[in-house]
Amino acid sequence: MSAPIDSPGNPLERAPTVAVRDAILSADDLAELLAFAVAHETAFKPTGVGDAGASAPGLNAEHRVSRALPPRQFTPSRDRIAAIVAPLLPGILSELGMKAFDIARYEIELVRHNDGDYYRRHIDTHMGPSDEARRAVSLVYYFHAEPKAFTGGALRLYAVNRNDVFVDIEPERNRLVAFASWIPHEVLPISCRSARFIDSRFAINCWVRMTPPTLPKDQS
């Protein structure tokens, strides 16, 4: 018996693959988006966990502190965001090593992290057999006011089974980051001395939901 010449290692311990795209929006569109967020400041509500993949539904300040705009208030932007993401998706999927799939829908959320906020390690999807249209790809688009008035807030993406193998992505203005929704990740704590809403770390989450595969019929 001979040992493999080049062991591929354990995929669960490998650093995750992340796709990063910069300069996504024009300066005008970016300014409009920031103005939209600022105009809706009072509508942002504390975020919960457990919508997908987290341990328990509801608010959990140990796990996640941030504020999000209720999705119905952000729906006018949904088609515009989908129109930006759709043409980028084939290249992103191939970079992530994922096959093209039937898109059931895009799920979109606008989130603001301010002083002391964070989101601990989690995944964005459910695992195991299911006929729901599950989240397959997570995309996060970052924006903020200039000059940037917060520090921290990197997106840390982990190897599935390791805490000490990770990739940090800076939430650069006008940057889109994409990763498979089952990759564990966290938002590192943010410091924002002014604590003003406009100085927040803003992010648009866009989850691409996959049409579920047809499960084999029970033959018994």
Is residue 97 within 8 Å of residue 141, measured between CB atoms?
A: no
Given 30, 188, 205, 212, the residue binding ligand AKG (CB under 6 A): 205
CA quadruple 167, 171, 172, 178: dihedral sign:
positive
Percent of the chain that is helix, strand, coil (3-state, to 5): 20, 30, 50
Comparison of 93 and 176: residue with beta carbon closer to ligand AKG: 176
Cβ 119 to ligand AKG shortest distance, Å: 5
Three-point CA angle 114, 153, 134, nearest 5°: 95
Contact 121, 110 (CB under 8 A): no
Q: For residue 53, give the DSSP letter.
A: S
Q: Smaller CB distance to ligand AKG: residue 57 or 213?
A: 57
Cβ–Cβ < 8 Å for 130, 212: yes
Sign of CA dihedral 28, 32, 33, 37: positive
Within 90-129, which residues bind Fe ion (CB under 5 A)? Answer: 124
Kindly state whether residue 108 participates in binding ligand AKG, applying the rule CB under 6 A: no
Under rule CB under 6 A, residue 117 binds ligand AKG: no
By the rule CB under 6 A, 203 interacts with ligand AKG: yes
Minimum distance, C-beta of residue 17 to ligand AKG, in the bound complex (Å): 16
Residues in contact with Fe ion, shown as a per-residue x/- string from 122 to 141 under the rule CB under 5 A: --x-----------------
Which residue, chain included where needed, has tokens 């498979």? Answer: 180
185 touching ligand AKG, by CB under 6 A: yes
Binding mask 135-164 for ligand AKG (x = CB under 6 A): -----x--------------x---------
**Between residues 114 and 125, which has the closer beta carbon with respect to Fe ion?**
125
Give Cβ neighbours of residue 5 (< 8 Å, ≥ 6 apart). none
Look at residue 205 and give the partner it binds from ligand AKG, Fe ion, none, a contact being a CB closer than 5 to 8 Å depending on partner kind: ligand AKG
Using CA atoms, how far residue 211 sits from 36, 51, 98, 130, in Å, is 31, 18, 15, 11
DSSP reduced 3-state for 125: coil
Question: Whole-angstrom distance between the N-terminal and C-terminal Cα of the chain?
Answer: 42
Residue 119 makes contact with ligand AKG by CB under 6 A: yes
Residue number of the CB atom closest to Fe ion: 124
How many chain residues touch ligand AKG (CB under 6 A)?
9
- Footprint of ligand AKG (CB under 6 A): 111, 119, 124, 140, 155, 185, 187, 203, 205
- Footprint of Fe ion (CB under 5 A): 124
